[in-house]
Structure 1
Amino acid sequence: MSPSTIPTPLDPISEWRAWQTFTIIYTILLNRQIRRRWLLEQKSMQDRPLRERFRPVIFLEPVPTLQKPNTNKEATSNPFNKSTMDKLRTKAALLRARVEKGKELASEIERRMVQYPPIRFPTHFCHTCVSDGERVEVLLTTCGHRVCRTCIQYGVDEDGVYECSICFVPTGFVARSPLVLVKDCPGEVAPILRKGEVAM
């Protein structure tokens, strides 16, 4: 590459705006993937008996807005602050990873919906190891993902808090597996669990 064709690096403010734009785009794409999974869950419940249905849960990410750069040394939106830029790049990278994982999960749901012999609950599986919810107990996290007990053990830190393998953030659990509720205690409401607590 000749010296004349080498791209000129962006100035800090332009780079700040570019990474902010990336986070907005990835958040919108992520919400589209979440909504796609939600629609697939609704579709899979249409043919189920009423006693075996459960309401699909959707947790959309708030879409960030463009912030005006602040050059104050202590400001969190200072594009000249290296740690601020590193956090913004990391956030964009994590959002991109979640978008890619969301595509995989939606494709897995679609595959399970057309599988023969048919699967009883095609959307109910561990989002980490893809274990079927009828073979293992799968819990719903507060961030809207499903995880089995085995994966929970590997994702719990020293303080007993589970870090979601999809969102990469600490999370809690909303309810027990719908399959367990149908089989063991039909008609009861799923217990609400505190952050880091695992249903027994």
Structure 2
Amino acid sequence: MTEASLDIIRAKYIASAVRMDQYPEGELIEVVFIGRSNVGKSSLINSLSRHHGIARISGTPGKTQTINFYQLTAKLSPEERKDFFLVDLPGYGYARTGKTSRRQWSKFIEEYMLKSPRLKLVCQLIDIRHPPMESDIEMYKWLIINDLPVQIVTTKADKISKMAVQKHLNIIRNALGISNSQIIAYSSTKGTGRQELLDVISEVLLK
């Protein structure tokens, strides 16, 4: 953890992309969010940035079909500010998506994640209420194999009791084979875990 408490003071939508030539220009660090469809990614992005509505929340799983770039301004200290890109990737594992579309999505997502020199952290979101699904485990293994820095963030922590949170975290930890520091319990409604995740992002921005 860092001594200074980072906070987000500005956030704005920049671009949506399905090809490399559509990515925003510049050298800003990228922090990526990925998870199964309907895991609560948009709600978490809105909560983290404290700009409600910056990421559109849909009741239809699999709605996000593009790589969405948001530019966030982090306040690192009273004097220091730093901009970075928060990148929202399409959800994986939605059964109703056609196989052709799934292949196209996975191709451009894979291309982005393996070729972007600005990518410094991947936050993989998993619903805390359920054990990781096969697609969650496969995604985590793929990230590790490709040497991408991963932070597991469990969503919807307010949907279960406080006592159940630790039990469910242990289930997810054991399924992925990770340590306590590699997982955060987050509630977009209550803001639980927000500062913890901001501290992780702060470490990335300060490197």
Normalising by the residue count of structure 2, what TM-score does the alignment of the two structures yield? Answer: 0.25
By relative contact order (CA 8 Å, sep 6+), the higher-ranking structure is 2
Higher helix share: 1
Could you tell me the TM-score, scaled by structure 1's length?
0.26
Q: Based on CA coordinates, which of the two structures has the bigger radius of gyration? A: 1
Higher share of residues assigned strand:
2
